[in-house]
Amino acid sequence: MRHLQPKEAWAWLQAQRGRPPEDQPLFVDVRMEIESLYVGRPPGVVNIPWYEYPDLTPDPQAFARKVLQEAGRLDRPVLLICRSGKRTLEAGAALEAAGFTDVAHVVHGFEGELDEHFHRSSRNGWRFEGLPWEQM
């Protein structure tokens, strides 16, 4: 799995825009749907939760099947994002175990690490870097 800083991930996605849609990276938000909708998310991301409320228990095989359904094939590049870059490590490992060959994740995720006041988006992450995002 490749580890891309937020700006690297955005630049990579933008560089692939001229390719046919089925060859462009599939950008997957692995957070719960409610997180993605209300906290905010990058434009063009597909939400496929690593786990969902109320169980909060990942099902790696089901996750990989859902990503494959969206991706269409195992060799399509997949970029993962979550809140802080931790869930994507487990989700990415599950995709690789399922046979995906080109998996990357956004280091520090959408909101980044906690600061000394237990706030996110103040040290690093997608939103901290000023990259495009939308909110419901």
Name the pTM for this structure.
0.95
- 30 vs 2, 19, 25, 37, CA distance in Å? 16, 24, 15, 12
Q: 1-14+24-45+57-136 maps to which CATH number? A: 3.40.250.10
Which residues, other chains included, contact 48 with Cβ-Cβ below 8 Å and sequence gap of 6+?
Answer: 28, 29, 30, 63, 66, 67, 70
Q: Is the dihedral of CA 96, 38, 124, 26 positive or negative?
A: positive
Nearest 5°: the CA angle 78, 79, 80 is: 115
Alpha-carbon span 111 to 126, nearest angstrom: 6
Alpha carbon of 45 to those of 31, 66, 97: distances in Å? Answer: 11, 14, 23
What does the pLDDT profile of the chain (136 residues) look like in tens digits? 999 999 999 999 999 999 999 999 999 999 999 999 999 999 999 999 999 988 999 999 999 999 999 999 999 999 999 999 999 999 999 999 999 999 999 999 999 998 998 888 888 999 999 999 999 8
Angle at 28 between CA 61 and CA 39, to 5 degrees: 115
Beta strand 46-47 pairing with 78-81: unpaired
